Amino acid sequence: MIPMVDLKTQYHTLKAEIDSAVLDAIESTQFILGPNVTAFEQESASYLGVSHAVSCASGTDALHLAILAAGIGPGDEVITSPFTFIATAEAICYAGATPVFVDIDPQTFNIDPALIEKAITPRTRAIIPVHLFGQPADMLAISGICDRHGLLLIEDCAQSFGAKANNMMTGSLGMLGCFSFFPSKNLGCYGDGGMISCATQELADKIKVLRNHGSKVRYHHHLIGYNSRLDDIQAAILRVKLKRIDLFNAARRRVAHLYSDLLSDLVTVPFEDGKGTHVYHQYTLLTDRRDAVMARLSERQIASAVYYPIPLHKQEVFAEACGATCLPVAEEVASRCMSLPIFPEMSDEQVRLVAATVKEALVG
């Protein structure tokens, strides 16, 4: 049995340190906005090379709070990718704004900068590129477009903790960067969690107020905020894992490169543009025979998954908003993509077994 992600093996290798960090956090009884939260935010900001990082309750909340802090609201349009997890677009809608989907690049699966300018209208306020599967979006091109058109740049880094674009960490290239610590993400906690990296103190202060009931001074509320905080226990776990994130990501890259060596003659393997570091949140390939490959893997007790089978402009929830919108690259990729198991602790033997099973399905 090979799962998509093996959280148990990782826990067992870190057990002593994690257990003691969790027990210390419990013993301190500072469960909400406690010392681990402050320390984790500082350690993350320094790792990412940003001036401030503010944690919150989930990656979805990170996007929502970032969009609110950017002052985006009803009547505004926000350009993003149709080939992402629904949360990217949900957060735009929570703020009362409208997501505008721009087709993706067929090699990186990230928003195609060459198509963005055609989608800009007088209502466009921001672009939210998603660093999908851990592959940085083309930030040089996208930030150029933002500068030319006076648009805000908010990064969805939920899948890209530790990925670099042009030698800078994702999350440090835009005005705001949104991270998720969902357990299976590259940096995951043991529940829900999220964080926003901020380019300015002012944005960080705004988000701190928004995540804590619109309050800076206890029981003084100057706006309607939210209850969206990272638990101190989760922050304690994240601090243990943050120290190892580069090792985890290097191990993911090793797995991915072995897969690509073994599979490049049989399927379209993930593309690396050389401008950044892909951290392989997912190892996603293209094949015309996805069903056959997935069926054979399943027979051999090997997990596989389709991220994502339906692009957002084709989702029922956006049927009215998107109508007959056709984004051919996203639709084609969604119909042919599939992801193989990948996690830092995966052995070469496991990778070879998965690759051999894919081969068996395709060439018999």
Ligand X SMILES: *Cc1c(COP(=O)(O)O)cnc(C)c1O
Binding site for ligand X (CB under 6 A): 58-60, 84-85, 87-88, 130, 156, 158-159, 180, 182, 192, 194
Distance of closest approach, residue 159 Cβ to ligand X, in angstroms:
5
Distance of closest approach, residue 337 Cβ to ligand X, in angstroms:
15
Instruction: For residues 250 and 332, give the distance between their C-alpha atoms in angstroms, rounded to a whole number.
Output: 30
Instruction: For residues 342 and 212, give the distance between their C-alpha atoms in angstroms, rounded to a whole number.
Output: 36
Distance of closest approach, residue 60 Cβ to ligand X, in angstroms:
3
Residue closer to ligand X by CB (options 182, 190) is 182
What are the structure tokens assigned to 34, written together?
A: 């406690």
Residue closer to ligand X by CB (options 259, 308) is 308
CA-based nearest residue to 132, from 154, 99, 158: 158
Instruction: For residues 20 and 32, give the distance between their C-alpha atoms in angstroms, rounded to a whole number.
Output: 19
Instruction: For residues 205 and 200, give the distance between their C-alpha atoms in angstroms, rounded to a whole number.
Output: 9
Residue closer to ligand X by CB (options 293, 337) is 337
Helix, strand and coil percent figures for the chain, each rounded to 5: 45, 15, 40
Residue closer to ligand X by CB (options 171, 194) is 194
Q: In this structure, how many other beta carbons lie within 10 angstroms of the beta carbon of residue 147?
A: 10
Q: Is the peptide bond before 94 cis (omega within 30 degrees of 0)?
A: no
Residue closer to ligand X by CB (options 88, 284) is 88
Which residue number places its CB atom closest to ligand X?
59
Distance of closest approach, residue 189 Cβ to ligand X, in angstroms:
10
Residue closer to ligand X by CB (options 58, 357) is 58
Instruction: For residues 297 and 318, give the distance between their C-alpha atoms in angstroms, rounded to a whole number.
Output: 33
Distance of closest approach, residue 183 Cβ to ligand X, in angstroms:
9
Distance of closest approach, residue 59 Cβ to ligand X, in angstroms:
2
CA dihedral 281, 227, 74, 64 (to 10 degrees): -10
What are the structure tokens assigned to 121, written together?
A: 């209208």
What are the structure tokens assigned to 315, written together?
A: 């989702």
Instruction: For residues 119 and 206, give the distance between their C-alpha atoms in angstroms, rounded to a whole number.
Output: 29
Residue closer to ligand X by CB (options 143, 160) is 160
DSSP 8-state symbol, 316: G
What are the structure tokens assigned to 297, written together?
A: 């893997």
Distance of closest approach, residue 193 Cβ to ligand X, in angstroms:
7
Distance of closest approach, residue 351 Cβ to ligand X, in angstroms:
23
- End-to-end CA gap in the chain: 21
Residue closer to ligand X by CB (options 47, 179) is 179
* C-alpha 90, offset from chain centre: 14
